[in-house]
Amino acid sequence: MWECAALKNAGVMGLAFLFAVTAFASEGSQPAGPGGAARSRGIGEMTASQGSPVGSEEVVVYSARNEQLIKPVFDAYTQATGVQIKFITDQEGPLLERLKAEGANTPADLLITVDAGNLWQAAQMGLLKPVTSEVLVANIPPHLRDPHHQWFGLSVRARTIVYNTDKVRPSELSTYEDLGNPKWKKRLCLRTSKKVYNQSLVAMMIAELGEAKTERIVRSWVDNLATDVFPDDTKMMEAIAAGQCDVGIANTYYYGRLMEKNPDQPLALFWPNQQDRGVHVNISGAGVTKHAKHERAAVKFLEWLSSEQAQNLFADDNLEYPANPKINPDTKVAAWGSFKQDLINVSKAGELQNSAVRLMDRVGYK
């Protein structure tokens, strides 16, 4: 998956060492290959220094959000406060495994990753600790944070319907469920069910509609597929634009990137379920690690990330929505229109992820 940077050389570094900069892949310009592996754009300068004494003004971040998205935010914080942010980036799976293996010796203070399913997983693995913060509770709406305060959403990504404007009128669209209507037979494209984004979408449907109904809906989607599932949202939308199919489901920031490259493509977003539960949203977010050596500094940094100052920095570069509702999205993002978002707690995406995976397997959603 391509929002995650590849950290090729991390394994060779001793645990007592921290890295300032490591290899990274470009979320903005490089799609994942069919296997979903991120391709490294280049090896950045890797500097190592001895771990700093407990309590000094620095925060060590493990991030599954890639360098080009987080570095400007970190730099702004250092400039404003003098606090140094050291970080490594990698895919979320390896990062969680690394945190687990390092245990109490981990240098990491803060974990940043995408999708509530992954944050939930980190909490389940005992890698995070609860944070009591009035600032975070005030800035981040309840549905975008862990009910047990172990992680907090920092940006919102909407997973919505995309359609070919030459072939579909928006009035023909209504809900995620309706994509299983026979009128979409051989007209629907979907990304693979192996991607956590779709697992989270289906998990949330199970939470709200029940397992039996969700199974009927997802089965009807599979029945309507025009072609095999796609490895990523971008390839799926390119197929819609090319007329291989007419509708699909994608995260809005992939749509934004595609349209920035070629604004003439016959693609548009549709906000489904506006008469009922709203559009499925997910988050990128962060949690303080269980064995943080700079816990106070990490909490302060997390609070700052939820603030007005930082929210646009954190969301805009990836064409996401700020999690803090007091902050307006970037004008490019705002131009897609406003919508009602699903207010169910995103932690359900984690709780029901296994059920969702099994369900998608049962109905033959590859």
Please report, as ranges, the residues that interact with Fe ion according to CB under 5 A.
3
Task: For the CB of residue 271, give the shortest distance to Fe ion in the complex, in Å.
Answer: 19
CB closer to Fe ion out of 3 and 109: 3
Task: For the CB of residue 269, give the shortest distance to Fe ion in the complex, in Å.
Answer: 16
Q: Give the single-character DSSP code of 348.
A: H
Task: For the CB of residue 251, give the shortest distance to Fe ion in the complex, in Å.
Answer: 6
Neighbours of 44 (CB within 10 A): 17
Q: Is the dihedral of CA 154, 159, 164, 169 positive or negative?
A: negative
CB closer to Fe ion out of 3 and 303: 3
Tell me the two tokens of residue 292.
Answer: 């943080």
Burial of 134 (0-12, 13-18, 19+ CB in 10 A): exposed
State the Cα–Cα distance between residues 100 and 81, nearest whole angstrom.
30
CB closer to Fe ion out of 83 and 283: 283
Residue with nearest beta carbon to Fe ion: 3
Backbone angles phi, psi at 18, to 5 degrees: -115, 150
CB closer to Fe ion out of 3 and 342: 3
CB closer to Fe ion out of 14 and 35: 35
Neighbours of 130 (CB within 10 A): 14
State the Cα–Cα distance between residues 317 and 69, nearest whole angstrom.
6
Task: For the CB of residue 262, give the shortest distance to Fe ion in the complex, in Å.
Answer: 19
CB closer to Fe ion out of 3 and 92: 3
State the Cα–Cα distance between residues 138 and 304, nearest whole angstrom.
12
CB closer to Fe ion out of 3 and 215: 3
Task: For the CB of residue 70, give the shortest distance to Fe ion in the complex, in Å.
Answer: 14
**Which residues are within 8 A (CB) of 326 and not within 5 positions of it... i.e. 6 or more apart?**
139, 308
Task: For the CB of residue 28, give the shortest distance to Fe ion in the complex, in Å.
Answer: 11
Residue corresponding to tokens 């962060």 = 286
Residue 337 C-alpha from the chain's centroid: 21
Task: For the CB of residue 3, give the shortest distance to Fe ion in the complex, in Å.
Answer: 4
CB closer to Fe ion out of 279 and 288: 279
Q: By the 8 A CB rule, do 15 and 105 touch?
A: yes
Neighbours of 103 (CB within 10 A): 12
Residue 67 C-alpha from the chain's centroid: 15
Residue corresponding to tokens 């595609």 = 258
Task: For the CB of residue 353, give the shortest distance to Fe ion in the complex, in Å.
Answer: 17
Backbone angles phi, psi at 56, to 5 degrees: -75, 165
